[in-house]
Amino acid sequence: MPDISDRPDNVRLIDRFGRVARDLRVSVTEKCSLRCTYCMPAEGLPAIPRDDLLTATEIARLVRIGVRDLGVREVRFTGGEPLMRADLAEIIGRSAEAAPGIDLSITTNGIGLDHRIHSLVEAGLTRVNVSLDTVDREHFARLTRRDRLPAVLAGIRAAHEAEMTPLKLNAVMMRDTLRDAPDLLAWALENGCRLRFIEQMPLDADRSWLRENMVSAEELLAVLGERFTLVEAGRDDPHAPVEEWRVEGWTVGGAPATVGIIASVTRSFCAACDRTRITAEGTVRSCLFGDDETDLRGLLRGGADDAEIARWWQAAMWGKQAGHGMDAAGFAPPVRSMGAIGG
């Protein structure tokens, strides 16, 4: 275990900078039905051996420890693409039993969601975020290397019909799809979705990210402003990464419509980060940009009790770095890409 002799006697997932992790992201697979250029190589990520993946029972145990013992308040299952796990409903169901009343959500590309949404909701799913970068079919196919836009839209419709509202859409801001952004926002507003744009981070498997090629929040706002009147609304939650802008003249569900921007690069929110991550192989990752990982799978399978697992988890988060460090000289992206870490 890392040296935590200077850590105060506190059960929560605190770090040396006073942040407290309450938002748990659990990756359940490295597999995906798309090959988005900002996330995965064309051939996909190296396969994780089945026995190295956490089981549904192991995931639920970590959820229980996180919620009951460490102060976790919400859990999101990610990937890769979580719908690639045939036992996703079991993962959600066991987690709901392990931590009754906790908010359980998924981030998905939506492909196949129309066939599975009802079983997921019955298991305990409470919210859905869908990744959708453009509603231009040709651009979608080029960006994701798959012509699957109709399947994504079918998944979004199914989530609406299952009353998974407010349904949130996540769009990575890319140079190739920047001019599509107003159409995407219009589509989201017309279809009752809450859209959030995300600045592209250096987490692509192809290592092609360049800051000078990145679309910034300011550039995106200028493009959206050509068609919409936007009024800055700030953050509802100081720990939330999303800055909101009201879209004048529009409502969604009877409330003023908003569009969000997660400016991870140009408006870093690291000082307020409240996330802790578990990879599909069962390691704690305290930061997207920190390559340090603490193995909990070995403890789960080696007979450790909940208290010991909690201590290792606390130790992992105590060592969390101050920020992503993109502005520092000599910055190097993490070894793992986003698809391998879990969003």
pLDDT of residue 336: 72
Q: Is 212 exposed, middle or buried (0-12, 13-18, 19+ CB in 10 A)?
A: exposed
Binding-site residues for [4Fe-4S] cluster sit at 32, 36, 39, 270, 273, 287
- Contacts of residues 141-148 at CB distance under 8 Å and 24 or more positions apart, as own/partner, are 142/176, 143/36, 143/37, 143/174, 143/176, 143/177, 144/34, 144/35, 144/36, 144/37, 145/34, 145/35, 145/36, 145/37, 145/42, 146/33, 146/34, 146/35, 148/33, 148/34, 148/109, 148/111
Binding residues: 25, 32, 36, 38-39, 76, 80, 107, 131, 168, 201, 270, 273, 275-277, 287
Could you state, in order of their start, the residue ranges of all structural domains in the chain? 23-340
φ, ψ (nearest 5 deg) of residue 253: 60, 30
Question: In the prediction, which pLDDT does 269 show?
Answer: 80
Q: Give the span between the Cα atoms of 182 and 308, in whole angstroms.
A: 50
Pairwise CA distance, residues 278 & 276, whole Å: 7
Beta bridge partners of 192: none
* DSSP conformation class of 287: -
**Phi and psi at residue 42, to the nearest 5°:** -60, -35
All residues at 6 or more sequence positions from 11 whose CB lies less than 8 Å from its CB, including other chains: 69, 70, 71, 310, 314
Q: State CA 18 to chain mean position distance.
A: 23
Contact predicate 274/20, CB 8 Å: yes
Q: Was domain 23-340 assigned CATH 3.20.20.70? A: yes
Binding residues for S-adenosyl-L-methionine: 38, 80, 131, 201
Give the SS3 label for residue 117: helix
In this prediction, residue 325 carries a pLDDT of 64
- Measured CA to CA, the distance from residue 313 to residue 284 in angstroms comes to 7
Q: Is 186 exposed, middle or buried (0-12, 13-18, 19+ CB in 10 A)?
A: middle
Separation between Cα atoms, residue 46 and residue 31, nearest integer Å:
9
Q: Quick one: CA dihedral 283, 287, 289, 290, positive or negative?
A: negative
Residues of the chain with pLDDT under 50: none
Amino acid at 211: R
Classify burial at 7, counting beta carbons within 10 Å of its beta carbon; exposed 0-12, middle 13-18, buried 19 or more: middle
Binding-site residues from annotation for GTP: 25, 76, 107, 168, 275-277
Is this model's pTM higher than 0.75 or not?
Answer: yes
H or E stretch covering 182: helix 181-190
